[in-house]
């Protein structure tokens, strides 16, 4: 299991947090996604054989948020 932290801009409430969490946890290979609203940080735990960071960033942007790095 691998952990990746992504900085995300545009999350303003718990609804945003849940949207981001949901899109990430739908990706096969992702075991959990945790979001810190205050810091704008998304921490994803995933199986490197099944998923990758580029996929996470795309899912976050598709959900309407901006990936900073
Ligand atoms: Cu919101």
Distance 37 CA to ligand 1 centre (A): 10
Distance 64 CA to ligand 1 centre (A): 10
Distance 28 CA to ligand 1 centre (A): 25
Distance 32 CA to ligand 1 centre (A): 20
Q: CA angle 24-27-29, nearest 5°?
A: 110
Distance 68 CA to ligand 1 centre (A): 18
Query: What percent of the chain has pLDDT above 90?
Result: 99
Query: Which pTM value belongs to this model?
Result: 0.94
pLDDT digits (tens, 9 = 90+) for 40-53: 999 999 999 999 99
Which CATH number is 2-67's, of 3.30.379.10, 3.30.70.100, 3.40.50.970, 1.10.10.10? 3.30.70.100
């Amino acid at each position: 299991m691998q952990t990746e932290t992504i900085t995300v801009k545009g999350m303003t409430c718990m609804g945003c947090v849940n949207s981001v969490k949901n899109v990430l946890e739908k990706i096969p290979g992702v075991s959990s996604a945790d979001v810190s609203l205050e810091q704008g940080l998304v921490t994803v735990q995933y199986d490197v054989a099944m998923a990758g960071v580029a996929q996470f960033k795309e899912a976050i942007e598709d959900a309407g948020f901006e990936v900073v790095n």
